Amino acid sequence: MSGLSRLKDAALERALLMFLRPKVTRYGELRHITLDTSKKVLAAEIALLGDEAPLTISQARYRLEKDGDQILLIIEDIKVSKEWIQNLIEDHFEEVTLKVPDSMRGLLNRLL
């Protein structure tokens, strides 16, 4: 990965942390996200409330889609470290769709 690509990924990682942290606070703290825009995969770690071991998302494929003026972040093929959560994802969440806030639109428009 080139230095410029890594810088772009690092900027997107920070933006995604700001966007996603409030969405998981009910369950725990999103500690970090690693993003690879060339492969369109992300990884993350969440310190779950009441659980000593963090939840590790080792792989999640993503794509961005436009729906009118709105950008959607669609996450699929999620692989996690806890078996029961993996089973829950496979049974009920084939993909997760999130509306991207306007504040991130400019940053993500280049990836569409």
**Closest listed residue to residue 40, CA positions, set 67, 69, 5:** 5
Residue 75 has pLDDT above 70, yes or no: yes
Range 66-90 average pLDDT: 95
CA dist., res. 93 & res. 91, Å (int): 6
Range 48-61 average pLDDT: 96
Q: How many residues does the chain have?
A: 112
Residue 93 has pLDDT above 90, yes or no: yes
Residue type, 62: Y
Residue 111 has pLDDT above 70, yes or no: no
Q: Which tokens go with 41?
A: 């995969």
CA dist., res. 57 & res. 97, Å (int): 17
Q: Write the pLDDT tens digit of every residue in 57-72.
A: 999 999 999 999 899 9
**By residue range, what is the domain housing residue 96?**
3-109
Q: Give the number of domains in the chain.
A: 1
Q: Give the global pTM.
A: 0.84
| Average confidence score pLDDT of the chain | 90
Q: Which tokens go with 17?
A: 């942390």
